[in-house]
DNA sequence: TTGATATATATAGCCGAGCTATATATACTG
DNA sequence: CAGTATATATAGCTCGGCTATATATATCAA
């Protein structure tokens, strides 16, 4: 039974990579806490999956359900469920795919844009007090970190999708 | 039906705060995607709640179930469930609270430390390839961003706990 | 000391997100 | 046109999350 914080140095990793190693695990762990804090602090009745899905659609425009699943890093049946819920609330629309009768194009609706925007506003308003005193230099650091992280996470999503696609066979 | 990415400037917010506003929403959204990417890329059968809970216990040492719930930003009954699962796998231990027969102290077990460490290692190994080419300056930016974000998120958790505690009445 | 109130955890019961396995419908290809 | 591949849906499960409430113990006041 351990009562003290512990830090084990990763083994067999070059010294430089070791730091990156630690940062990556820190980022993942912190991300989980940020998500929980955001949903609780805003008392959001919606689930993160909703906003993640809408955000992907807003950012990339309409796409097939399968592609949406890949970009959101969920399995296709999971996305079928999520989209069903969003369609019911008119936050996304299904458009028949001209070229392929099996597929749909899923696009965010104007109502979806509205609720997503409102969520972002509420989120920011709720979290702002915790960061108001943040020096401008730190704000810039956060800006840079987000900007350099995001493209890699998005690329990572695509790569992970390919990977799991391969395994599916 | 909208097909183009849209960015609405927040209204009624001072110009300086507007940037921070955007960064906060970006951080929250990116966090959600990081979490999904991590669980999928590592093909982790465990859920993020497991690692979040174990990490809090490792960082802070044994504590009551209710406090653990507050620090993890989940409701108390949720934590009761999570802890039940962890106890069953011997990843945490219950210790009778000397001073209060209603309460337990929950502490991470050595087995729990092991699996948490292994998870971190696997995670880092999986994600490293996406970041190997990251310039050292960018690594430092990430390091700084994590370090300045984390204490505020943790404070935020405490604040949110107080808030919801007040509402409970 | 006892009765009222507060607090710590557990239980019940619900919903949504996530998964795998598989079905169905359409597309493609030899 | 047969056979295979692909896009989505369905079935059925688990877990995490919630609220409402029960239970047990503490605490405090009369």
The predicted-structure confidence for B10-68, as pLDDT tens digits, reads as follows 555 555 666 899 999 999 999 999 999 999 999 999 999 999 999 999 999 999 999 99
For residues A54-61, average pLDDT: 96
Q: What's chain B's length in residues? A: 169
Q: What are the residues whose beta carbons fall under 8 Å from the beta carbon of B113, sequence distance 6 or more?
A: A2, A6, B58
Q: How confident is the model at residue B167 (pLDDT cuts 50, 70, 90)?
A: very low
Q: What DSSP character marks residue A10?
A: P
B36–A60 C-beta distance less than 8 A: no
Q: How far is CA B74 from the centre of its chain?
A: 11
Q: What DSSP character marks residue B8?
A: P
More confident residue, B30 or B9: B30
For residues A95-121, average pLDDT: 93
- Give CA separation, B124 vs A81, B121, B128, in Å: 31, 5, 6
Is A145 at the interface with chain B, CB within 8 A? Answer: yes
Say yes or no to pLDDT of A9 above 90: no
Which chain B residues in 26-65 lie under 8 Å from chain A, judged by CB atoms?
26-38, 40-41, 48, 51-52, 55, 58-62
Is A130 at the interface with chain B, CB within 8 A? Answer: yes
Classified as helix, coil or strand, B101 is: coil
Q: How many CB atoms lie within 10 A of CB B134?
A: 17
Q: What DSSP character marks residue B52?
A: H
For residues A14-19, average pLDDT: 64
In B9-141, DSSP assigns E strands to: 63-64, 92-96, 104-108
pLDDT digits (tens, 9 = 90+) for B88-146: 999 999 998 888 888 889 999 999 999 999 999 999 999 999 998 999 999 999 999 99
Q: Which residue has the tokens 């999986």?
A: B126
- Decide: A119 and A44 in contact? Cβ < 8 Å: yes
Contact, B66 CB vs strand C, < 7 Å:
yes
- Shortest distance between the Cα of B101 and any Cα of chain A, in A, equals 21
For residues A61-88, average pLDDT: 96
Q: What are the residues whose beta carbons fall under 8 Å from the beta carbon of B69, sequence distance 6 or more?
A: B75, B76, B78, B79
Q: For chain B, give me the number of helices (H) and strands (E)?
A: 6, 3
Mutate to test the interface with A, among B128, B160, B162, B168 (most CBs of A within 10 A): B160
Residues from chain A that touch B140, judged by Cβ atoms under 8 A, are: none
Say yes or no to pLDDT of A149 above 90: yes
- Decide: B25 and A123 in contact? Cβ < 8 Å: yes
Sign of CA dihedral B13, B17, B23, B27: negative
């Amino acid at each position: 039974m351990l009562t003290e914080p512990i830090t084990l140095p990763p083994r067999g990793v070059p010294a430089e990579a070791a730091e990156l190693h630690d940062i990556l695990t820190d980022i993942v762990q912190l991300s989980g806490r940020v998500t929980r804090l955001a949903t609780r602090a805003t008392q959001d009745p919606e689930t993160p999956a909703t906003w993640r899905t809408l955000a992907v659609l807003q950012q990339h425009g309409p796409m097939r359900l399968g592609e949406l699943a890949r970009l959101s890093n969920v399995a296709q049946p999971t996305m079928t469920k999520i989209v069903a819920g969003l369609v019911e609330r008119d936050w996304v629309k299904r458009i028949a795919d001209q070229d392929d009768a099996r597929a749909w194009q899923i696009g965010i609706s104007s109502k979806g844009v509205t609720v997503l925007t409102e969520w972002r506003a509420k989120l920011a308003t709720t979290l702002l007090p915790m960061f108001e005193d943040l020096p401008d230099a730190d704000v810039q650091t956060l800006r840079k970190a987000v900007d350099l992280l995001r493209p890699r996470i998005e690329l990572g999503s695509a790569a992970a999708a390919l990977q799991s696609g391969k395994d599916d066979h």
